[in-house]
Each structure stands twice: as C-alpha cells, then as structure tokens.
Structure 1
Amino acid sequence: MSKLYAITDSQLLPGNKLFTAVESVLQAGCTWVQYRDKSTDQERRLYDALQLVALCNQYNAVLIVNDDVQLAIAAKAHGVHLGQGDSSPIIARTLLGDNAIVGVTCHDSLELAQQAIIDGASYIAFGRFFPSHTKPHAKSAKLALIGEAKEKFPNTPIVVIGGITLDNVHMVLDAGADKFAICHELFSAADITQIAAKFIEY
C-alpha cells in the first residue's frame, strides 16, 4: 500500500480542479486522501466530499474528512482527521463506527499520542518536521520523535506532516514513519500525477 497521504487545499484547488487533481493522485496509486477545506460553505463542502468519496471508491482508496465528523457522516467518508481542538476521538469513533479511520494530530507530543490511542485513534500524526507552506507557524517536531513514537506505540501507524518534499521524504521514512502527508508539494505541482508517482515509489 502506498505511503503517500494526499491532503487537499481549497486555495490551491478551487472548483472542479479539486476533483481532477484528486483523480490524478488516485491514478498514480495513492490510496489515502484527506479533504481539507476550512471554509463555512457547508453546501459546497458536502458536495465536494460526496464527489471525492465516490472517486476514492472507484479507485479502492479512502477519503478522510478533516476536522468535521458530521460532514464525514453525511458524505459517508471512510474516516475523519481531528486536531487537538476538534471533536473527541471517542465521539468520532462512536458516531462513525468501529471500521472508520480516526486520525489525531499530536504535534510533537508523545503524551497527546498516548491519549489519542486510548481514545480510539486509528493513527497518530506528528509534525511539522520541515518548513511548511500550509502551516508555516506550526510548532516544529524533531525527527527523533518518530522513532520514539514507533518504539512506544508499535501497533499504531504513524503519519508525519509538514514540509515534506521529494528531497527529504526519505528522512521521515528512515526514522520510522508509516505514511507521509503531502499538500502543497503535491497539489501545486504542474504535473500532479507525475509527482504523486514519484512519492509513491518510496
């Protein structure tokens, strides 16, 4: 299974560009996509999520909704990703069911990761590890954290995020990451399929 976890960006992918871009990464072999849109246009967000779920189902991939459990339910998405200020993983798990993917942002904290796992997280996410276009002011994390988390939580997949590029992705994988999340580096590319394919080679 591909280690690439593609995260959409509503600024980079306005309108129908969202769907063509996501299909490009799916065609390249990406199996995990996160729909991330911080706008308040609920009608459009539901439309987007429904279309992306249908697309992902065509390619035997999963669609994870960022930060919005109710949208994930309405769109019949495969899961949800939660930040520390969002809904509880316990509530998300209860509402979405045992088979749903529930990811939790843990920044640079093993303590937050441990609590997320106790609360039912399917995976724990750390970062940022490098300077990031999407979240330039996010707190940085050290690469050593990945190995520490791998040792402490051997049964929980570790996702890393933040400024990951083709030049540094080997560093997070060598440190023990199970998946790497890419947003700007992927969806700002002139040829999204080509760069996705290069990431998928790892």
Structure 2
Amino acid sequence: MRGLYFVTPDRASGRIALVAAALRGGARIIQYRDKSGTGMAGLPEARELLALCRKAGALLLINDDIELCLAAGADGVHLGEDDAGIADARTRLGPNRVIGASCYNDLDRARRALAAGADYVAFGSVYPSPTKPAARRANPGLLRAARGELSAPICAIGGITPDNAAPIIAAGADMIAVIQAISEAPNPEAAARALQALFAQTAAHTTP
C-alpha cells in the first residue's frame, strides 16, 4: 500500500464527485468517512464509491463501521481507539480485508495494533489540522522511528498539503491521508495529482 489516501469529508454534498476527482488524480486509497451516524443508510453511497474505486484500481475502506464494510463489499476498515478492537475486526472481516489503525503519536499502540492483525498504521496529526485542531501531534522523528522498526505500511495524516507533504514522505510515510487538501481545493483533481506525484519525486530524490 503506497500513495495518496483520500478521506471523504463529512458533508455529503458532492462527495461522489470529489472521490471521482481524487481517483482521476491518482488516489490509491479512498476512505468513506461519514460521522453523521447514518450507519447502513450510507450503503448505497458506499457501493457507488466502491464501483468508482474498482474502475480506478483503488481500495475503498470504511471508517469505523465493520457492518457497512461487509454489506458494501468494501476492501476493509479503518479503526480509531474508540472503535472495534483490531482482533475482533480481523475475526469478523476474515484474512483478506484490509484493517488500518489510528495510532496518533503512539509507536507502542502501532506495535500492538499490528500484533492484533492490523495491516497498516496511521500516525498524526503531522501538521496542525483544520479538521481536528486539538489532535495529538506526530512529528517526522516518530515516522522515521516507525519506518526503522515496522515492516507494515505507514500512513501519515493531518494538515498535509502539496506544499508540505514531501518531508513526510521522505520521513517514511508510505501513504499520506488528506481531506481538505482535496475537498477544499479549487481543482480537486489537480490537487490529487500534485500530491500523488510527490511519491515518485521523493523516491527519485532519495535514491542513492
């Protein structure tokens, strides 16, 4: 797992169009995130997003909701500290679906999540985030430490833009997760393309 990871905004208006634009721009992972509490009412939208992801060769993950993931046939879930346990999610989802775990600024939590069956771990906020202004901060040093120890993919999230993403990728992030860098951009497709391009550019600059 590597590349741009677009997390959908809470507002439902235009969400399908934003995902389509992000995928055209090269996003590799989409997370369907809806904190409105709609639950299974989001099933038609999740299925529509899955169809877009399948066409683009991208993954669709569901934020927090194992039941919605199973009903939609999505590729997996992303879980925070207040959501279902990783081991329980693995039991319910089986061995082939992806499970991501929010680890905030806690490397030990990442170790435990991977031991319980997570496929990737996410750290952040790596920069001040307008979505979660009070979020715990994870600095590039933590990403470098995680990259040196963990073999699983690492995702960075929080305040990432095309202007500040390169150092985060260079520090060890396999994925950069964004919301507003795409959802609030004047041209969401171009913003996604700029973010995705940083992976190739950063690899070229760091290759001996």
- Tell me whether the two structures share a fold, i.e. TM-score over 0.5: yes
What is the TM-score of this pair, normalised by structure 2?
Answer: 0.92
Alignment of 1:26-41 (within 5 A): 26-41=23-38
Query: Which residue pairs with 1:6 in the alignment?
Result: 6
User: How many pairs are equivalent?
Assistant: 198
Counterpart in the other structure of 1:123 = 120
1:105-132 deviations in Å (ceiling 9; x for gaps):
0010111000000000100000001110
Within 5 Å, which residues of 2 pair with 1:44-55? 44-55=41-52
2:178 matches 1:182: yes
Check conservation: 1:8, 1:36, Cα contact below 8 A.
Answer: yes
Cα distance in 1 for residues equivalent to 2:10 and 2:45: 10
Using the TM superposition, give the Cα deviation of residue 146 of structure 1 relative to its aligned residue in structure 2, in angstroms: 0.3
1:23–1:55: 8 Å Cα contact kept in structure 2?
yes
The residue aligned with 1:191 is 187
Q: Which residue of the partner structure matches residue 165 of structure 2?
A: 169
Letter in 1 for 2:186: A
Superposition CA RMSD, Å: 1.2
Percent identical pairs in the alignment equals 38
Instruction: Look up the SS of the partner of 2:35 in the other structure.
Output: coil
* 1:20 aligns with one of 8, 17, 21: 17
Structure 2: segments with no counterpart, 5+ residues? 199-208
Matching residue of 2:154: 158
Whether contact under 8 Å (1:102, 1:121) holds in the other structure is: yes
Higher helix share goes to which structure? 2
Q: Is the 8 A contact 1:2 1:30 kept in 2?
A: no
Q: Structure 1-normalised TM-score?
A: 0.94
Specify the code of the residue in structure 1 equivalent to 2:172.
Answer: G
Distance 1:90 1:123 in 2: 14
Gaps of 5+ in 1: none
CA contact (8 A) 1:2 1:200 kept: no
Q: Describe the superposition over 1:57-78 as per-residue Cα deviations: whole angstroms up to 9, x where unpaired.
A: 1111110000111111111110
